C-alpha cells in the first residue's frame, strides 16, 4: 500500500459530512425545477422509467468511479487526472477530462444562478402574499412579468452569485459543510407537506398515472438522451464536482454505501417533487409541457389557496434556494480548487474571479427570456439558454462520465481500484466492474448514437 494522500484544501470531518455535502450537491434545482418540467415536456411515465434506469445502470456506477478517482488523486480534477494517468502509466491527455469538467461546471452555473434567482424572487412574492387567491392565469402573469424584465433577473442573479462565492471563498469545512446539515431534512419534510396538499386536489391519481404509467409512443430518441443527461445532471456527475468532493473524503469511508445513500435521496426528492407538482397541473387545467417556468406557474397556485400558504410558500422557496446554493458551490469548486493549486491564488481571490466571469456569462441566459427570445437570436430554434443547457447536460456531462468510467475500469490497474474502493474483491466489486466496464459505456454510446440518428 502506498502512503495515503491528503488534499491541501482539507478533509471532511466525517462520513456524514461527505454524504451530506454530496447530497447537497446532488439535490438542487435539478430535482425540483428541472425534473418535473422535462418530465412534462417528454410525456411522463416512459421518460421517468428511462431516467430511473439511467440512474441505476449509468449514474450509480459512474458515481462510484468518480468518487474513487477523486479520493485517489486528492487534487482538483485536472491535477487528479494528470496525476492518476501518470501513476497508472497512461497518456497525459486524460487531464483534459478535468478541463472539460471545469468548463461544464462554469457554463452550468452561469444559468443555474439565473434560475436560482427566480426562486429568490419567489421567496419575496410568496412571503408577501402576492399569490393569495389568484387563479392560474394570475400566477402565470406574475411569472411572465418577472422573466420579461432583464433588470430584475439581473439583480436576483447577482445576489445568488454573491451568496455562492461567499461560501466557496470560505473553504471546505466552514463553508461547504455547514449549510447542508439541517436544511436537507427540512426540505424533505416540506415536500411531503406539499404532496399532502396535492393529494386533495382531486387530480392526484391522474398525476400518478402520468408519472408512473409508461407510454413509450410518447418518447423520441431525443427524449432518451435528455433522460440520460438529466441522470448525470441530477447526480452532479461527469464534470468533477463529485470527484473534487471525493478528494476531501477520508480513507476509511465506504464509497459504495455513500453512493447508494446519495442516489437514493436524490431520486426520492425528484419523485416527491413530481408528485407535488403534477396534481396541481392537472387540477388547474395547465399543460405539463409548460417548460422551465413549470414550478413557478403551479406551486404558487397551491400556496395561494392553502391555509398558511404565505408561510409554507416562503419556507418552500427558502429551502429551494438552500438546495440550489449547496449545488451551486459544487459546480464552481473544481475551478476554484484548480486556481488555488496551480495559479497560487488565495481561495478568496480565486472565488471572486471565478464568480465574476460566471456572473457575466449568466447575462446570456437572462436575455434568453426577454430581449433575445425572438427567432432572430435562436440557433436551431433554441435560445442561448436552451443551447447552453443542451450542450452541457446532454453532451458534456455524459461524455465526461463516459471517460471517467473508461478511465476507472480500463485505464486504471485492477489493484488500484480494488484498494481504493475498499469493498474487497468479492461479488460486489466484480458486479461494479462488470457494469462499469461494459454496460455503462455501451449504454451511454448507444444513447448518443440514437439521438444523432445513427441508430
| Cα 169 to Cα 147: distance, rounded to the nearest angstrom | 30
18 binds ligand TRP (CB under 6 A): no
Give 6's DSSP letter: -
Residues in contact with ligand TRP, shown as a per-residue x/- string from 105 to 134 under the rule CB under 6 A = x--x--------------------------
Query: Cα 299 to the chain's mean position, in Å?
Result: 21
Task: Please calculate the CA angle 356-340-2 and round it to the nearest 5 degrees.
Answer: 145
Pick from 38, 63, 241, 399 the residue near ligand TRP by CB under 6 A. 241
Q: How far is the CB of 395 from ligand TRP (least distance, A)?
A: 13
358 binds ligand TRP (CB under 6 A): no
Q: What is the CA radius of gyration of the chain?
A: 21
Task: Please calculate the CA angle 244-35-282 and round it to the nearest 5 degrees.
Answer: 165
| Cα 62 to Cα 167: distance, rounded to the nearest angstrom | 27
**Chain residue at closest Cβ approach to ligand TRP:** 30
233 binds ligand TRP (CB under 6 A): yes
Q: How many residues contact ligand TRP, by CB under 6 A?
A: 17
**Greatest extent of the chain over all pairs of C-alpha atoms, in Å:** 66
Residues in contact with ligand TRP, shown as a per-residue x/- string from 376 to 415 under the rule CB under 6 A = ---------------------x------------------
Task: Give whichever of 104 and 219 is closer to ligand TRP, judged by the CB atom.
Answer: 104
Pick from 22, 28, 102, 147 the residue near ligand TRP by CB under 6 A. 28
331 binds ligand TRP (CB under 6 A): yes
Q: How far is the CB of 323 from ligand TRP (least distance, A)?
A: 7
Backbone phi, then psi, for 206, in 5-degree steps? -60, -40
Pick from 31, 267, 365, 416 the residue near ligand TRP by CB under 6 A. 31
Pick from 236, 297, 368, 417 the residue near ligand TRP by CB under 6 A. 236
Q: Dump the DSSP string for 200-246.
A: TSS-HHHHHHHHHS--GGG--HHHHHHHHHHHHHHTT-SSSHHHHHH
Pick from 12, 23, 25, 168 the residue near ligand TRP by CB under 6 A. 25
**195, 322, 243, 299: which is closest to 82 by C-alpha?**
243
Residues 6 or more apart whose CB falls under 8 angstroms from that of 20 comprise: 177, 180, 181, 184
Task: Give whichever of 25 and 417 is closer to ligand TRP, judged by the CB atom.
Answer: 25
| Residues at the interface with ligand TRP (CB under 6 A) | 25-26, 28-31, 105, 108, 233-234, 236, 239, 241, 327, 330-331, 397
Amino acid at each position: 500500500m502506498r502512503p495515503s494522500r491528503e488534499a491541501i484544501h482539507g478533509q471532511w470531518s466525517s462520513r456524514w459530512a461527505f454524504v451530506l455535502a454530496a447530497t447537497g450537491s446532488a439535490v438542487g434545482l435539478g430535482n425540483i425545477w428541472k425534473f418535473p418540467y422535462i418530465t412534462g415536456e417528454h410525456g411522463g411515465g416512459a421518460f421517468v422509467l428511462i431516467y430511473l434506469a439511467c440512474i441505476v445502470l449509468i449514474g450509480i456506477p459512474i458515481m462510484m468511479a468518480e468518487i474513487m478517482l477523486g479520493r485517489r488523486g486528492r487534487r482538483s480534477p485536472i491535477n487528479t487526472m494528470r496525476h492518476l494517468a501518470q501513476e497508472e502509466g497512461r497518456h497525459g491527455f486524460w487531464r483534459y477530462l478535468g478541463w472539460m469538467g471545469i468548463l461544464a461546471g462554469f457554463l452550468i452555473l452561469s444559468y443555474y444562478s439565473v434560475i436560482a434567482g427566480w426562486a429568490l424572487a419567489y421567496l419575496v412574492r410568496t412571503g408577501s402574499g402576492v399569490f393569495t387567491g389568484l387563479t392560474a392565469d394570475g400566477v402565470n402573469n406574475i411569472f411572465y412579468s418577472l422573466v420579461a424584465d432583464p433588470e430584475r433577473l439581473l439583480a436576483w442573479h447577482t445576489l445568488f452569485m454573491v451568496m455562492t462565492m461567499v461560501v466557496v471563498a470560505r473553504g471546505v469545512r466552514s463553508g461547504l459543510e455547514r449549510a447542508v446539515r439541517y436544511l436537507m431534512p427540512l426540505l424533505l419534510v416540506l415536500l411531503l407537506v406539499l404532496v399532502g396538499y396535492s393529494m386533495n386536489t382531486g387530480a392526484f391519481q391522474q398525476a400518478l398515472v402520468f408519472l408512473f404509467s409508461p407510454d413509450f409512443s410518447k418518447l423520441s430518441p431525443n427524449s432518451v438522451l435528455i433522460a440520460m443527461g438529466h441522470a448525470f445532471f441530477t447526480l452532479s456527475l461527469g464534470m468533477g464536482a463529485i470527484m473534487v468532493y471525493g478528494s476531501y473524503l477520508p480513507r476509511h469511508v465506504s464509497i459504495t454505501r455513500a453512493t447508494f445513500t446519495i442516489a437514493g435521496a436524490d431520486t426520492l426528492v425528484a419523485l416527491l417533487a413530481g408528485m407535488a407538482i403534477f396534481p396541481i397541473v392537472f387540477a388547474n387545467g395547465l399543460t405539463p409541457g409548460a417548460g422551465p417556468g413549470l414550478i413557478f406557474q403551479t406551486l404558487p397556485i397551491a400556496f395561494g389557496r392553502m391555509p398558511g400558504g404565505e408561510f409554507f410558500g416562503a419556507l418552500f422557496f427558502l429551502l429551494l434556494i438552500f438546495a440550489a446554493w449547496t449545488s451551486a458551490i459544487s459546480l464552481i469548486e473544481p475551478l476554484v480548487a484548480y486556481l488555488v493549486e496551480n495559479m497560487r491564488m488565495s481561495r478568496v481571490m480565486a472565488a471572486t474571479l471565478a464568480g465574476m466571469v460566471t456572473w457575466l456569462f449568466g447575462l446570456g441566459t437572462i436575455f434568453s427570456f426577454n430581449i433575445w427570445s425572438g427567432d432572430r437570436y435562436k440557433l436551431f430554434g433554441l435560445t442561448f439558454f436552451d443551447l447552453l443547457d443542451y450542450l452541457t447536460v446532454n453532451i458534456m456531462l455524459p461524455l465526461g462520465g463516459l471517460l471517467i468510467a473508461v478511465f476507472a475500469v480500463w485505464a486504471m490497474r485492477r489493484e488500484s481500484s480494488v484498494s481504493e474502493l475498499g469493498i474487497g474483491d468479492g461479488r460486489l466489486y466484480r458486479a461494479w466492474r462488470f457494469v462499469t466496464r461494459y454496460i455503462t459505456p455501451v449504454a451511454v454510446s448507444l444513447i448518443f448514437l440514437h439521438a444523432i440518428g445513427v441508430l
